[in-house]
A and B are shown apart, each in its own frame.
Chain A
């Protein structure tokens, strides 16, 4: 072959090679210039685009898994041209790939997770307590298995102690749905087989997720209102041996009852414990240090089991719902309850105590909240203490304007406390410093357990508390105070509050759940459940607020004033404005408690949680444990 022939061949080959290309492949590149979001709901859409350099060839769009990864409105596209990606109805990971038609050109890919509800799914336990439309204190706990598309099934126990309850085996939650927005707010609907609960058997809750495993919830459907928690379950779980517990409710004579203590589980089923009871109708009240025994049955597939006890003040029959080995929700059951034969209603929690022992040194700097249920003399107290070898000093607020017309703000408190090796103890506040609040039963929990968010690996320790005063009854928690810097109260928060309104003419309870951004102000919005229409705007309203946050520099760091806490309520009529005031105590930047300041002259009293939100979504969803 001579050189001329060789040259002709090379030129012909090059011409043929580049006939399908517009550029040299060594200089070609492609990138997804408008990527999809990290997650998309099933059937959702996203605008995407890819941009090439070194070529003007068209771009083909493909995805995997083939046949179940969605579709593109336009393919191929030109460089920079958008196409609409439509996600499949099935959940799961999808890889989207843009490939240039230029020969030898590289491709570019993006990963997207198809998921509903910010990836929140799995087995969850819930509990709430509040007032139903008939003005009965009610207790409700249950468990649901939430599918990836938000559909669910489950079971629950409802008991208002007066005329409505679940059967012995509980109510079946035959269907329902969860929807959660990007801000964590959402709605949970439970369709039960019990037409006496909710609205013809359907209960609707508003909620706000704090993270993928925990939400603050309220019932908000006009049939009842209440506050509580929704928490991811670890199923199955083998319960630990030592627990602290507390319950709040109303006894069979119609008077408020609170109780708490410690118990052990032996052999997986035998319970032995000690309980303190605050029951205004009891011959001895408060009744301290009562021993009790009981039996526990194994949990079913939803994590529901039963407990029987020989102590009627606790409740002779209860159901429990497993959150994990060291956390269960409790609800006293009363199958077949009638007005002619009322029963105790109560709910609460039991938390593991771990394997260690306790002493006075187990309590460090702490924040507490203590709150009545709607059936009692209405009050809420919140404060912080600095222990010192069995004594303590501190600062606290108490709002009992609803029954005594009194309140205290930033009161200096002091007193003593004692914790036994099994975590059973008490705390006494010197009289005449925090009004009627003087005596707590204190029941220590595992330092690794966060009583406000049991799946949270931080913020653990502290105790459940029961108010054992003669003039009022309440329950609450005492948690370690680890960060009092006001600057730590910043970012996105979920908020909940239970507002007890005692007016003679239109009494009742309203509950709020929502979220807010904390900067120099606390600005946010949420849902207000008002089944008795105390605000005249319907049974489910929305509330917005923007309140200045003022660190209390005149007392110990950790107390914050949220004043004025002016709430605008929107519903079926002209909005109304409620001139509330609030004060908060900070356990850390992630956990605060707040109560209504009695100085706002509203006669109502609220108390609740402020919990810092973490990101929801695909990354967090990978941590969700499926049953």
Chain B
């Protein structure tokens, strides 16, 4: 079994992970570390208002690496993780650079990155649920839009 241990701050964590889970977090640097899967948890949701700094664009080279909705908040720039269906296909959501949005989600560490996993979006006064409360992606989220609401700030 492959098992690589990059430096971890807490020795106790290392001991726990090595005993409990032979899983590896995928990273761009091709290193792996033991971890247990993170699960979406609605009790840890926060709502923020942000300005869209950039929208993912399709690479012409056929790359399949993930990309993010870059959001400018009062606390700084964050990686907003939407679903594969949010910006693609029928019933997708139109989000443009410079637009102000409201996003409800949860901060998670995925592939060694701090990511804001978005469950709901309010764009242009319309509210879109893009994931279930357990984090499952939703097809055609634009088709299920409802009237938007205001949220707090991060």
Q: Decide if A410 is an interface residue (CB 8 Å cutoff).
A: yes
Contacts of A137 in B (CB 8 A): 139
B154 within 8 Å of A (CB atoms):
no
Stretch among A214-222, A319-327, A601-609 lining the B interface: A601-609
Interface digits, B2-33 against A, CB 8 Å rule (1 contact, 0 not)? 10000000000000000011111111101010
Say whether B92 contacts A408, CB under 8 Å.
no
CB pair A507 B62 closer than 8 Å: no
Given contacts A404-B37, A505-B56, contact A376 B25 (CB under 8 A): no
Would you call B140 and A162 a contact (CB within 8 A)?
A: yes
Known: A135-B89, A163-B90, A506-B88. A432 touches B20 (CB 8 A): yes
Q: Are B26 and A601 in contact (CB under 8 A)?
A: yes
Q: Chain A interface: which of B44-52, B66-74, B96-104, B119-127?
A: B66-74
Considering only residues 427-454 of chain A, those with a C-beta below 8 Å from chain B are: 432-433, 435-436
Q: Known A162-B91, A503-B67, A505-B59; judge A375-B23 contact (CB<8 A).
A: no
- When C-beta atoms are compared, the residue in chain A nearest to B115 turns out to be A405
Q: A536-B62, A598-B24 are in contact. Are A280 and B136 (CB under 8 A)?
A: yes
Indicate if B132 sits at the interface (CB-CB under 8 A): yes
Least CB distance from A143 to B in Å reads 28
Q: Once the chains bind, are B139 and A504 in contact (CB under 8 Å)?
A: no
Interface residues of B in 81-135 (CB under 8 A from A): 81-92, 110-112, 132-135
Distance in angstroms from A160 CB to nearest chain B CB is: 9
A407 touches B24 (CB 8 A): yes
Once the chains bind, are B111 and A602 in contact (CB under 8 Å)?
no
Are A162 and B39 in contact (CB-based, < 8 A)? no
Residues of chain B lying within 8 A (CB to CB) of residue A554: 1
Stretch at the interface among A253-261, A304-312, A478-486: A253-261
Interface residue? A281 (CB, 8 A)? yes
Partner of B2, one of A134, A506, A599: A599
B60 at the interface (CB under 8 A from A): yes
CB of B64 within 8 A of chain A? yes
Is the pair B25, A134 in contact by a Cβ cutoff of 8 Å?
no
Cα–Cα, bound, A339→B139 (Å): 12
A508 within 8 A of B: yes
A254 to B89, CA, bound (A): 13
Shortest CB distance A193–B (Å):
23
Check if B35 is an interface residue, CB within 8 A of chain A.
Answer: yes
Give every chain B residue within 8 A of A436 (Cβ-Cβ): 37, 39
Contact B110 A404 (CB under 8 A): yes
Contact in complex: B139, A375 (CB < 8 Å): yes
A400 proximity list for chain B (CB < 8 A): 37
Instruction: Report if A236 contacts B (CB, 8 A).
Output: no
**If the complex has contacts A576-B61, A603-B64, are A255 and B138 also in contact, measured as CB distance less than 8 A?**
yes
Interface check A501, CB cutoff 8 A: yes
28 contacts between A and B (CB under 8 A): A135-B84, A135-B85, A163-B90, A254-B140, A255-B137, A375-B137, A376-B136, A401-B26, A405-B111, A405-B112, A406-B23, A406-B37, A409-B24, A411-B23, A412-B22, A432-B21, A433-B21, A435-B21, A435-B23, A436-B37, A470-B134, A503-B66, A504-B66, A507-B85, A536-B62, A537-B62, A599-B26, A599-B32
9 nearest CB pairs, A to B: A135-B89, A507-B84, A505-B56, A134-B90, A535-B62, A506-B58, A405-B111, A254-B138, A280-B132
New A-B pairs, 13, CB < 8 Å, besides A135-B88, A281-B132:
A135-B92, A250-B139, A255-B139, A280-B136, A376-B137, A377-B136, A401-B26, A406-B35, A435-B21, A505-B67, A599-B26, A599-B32, A603-B66
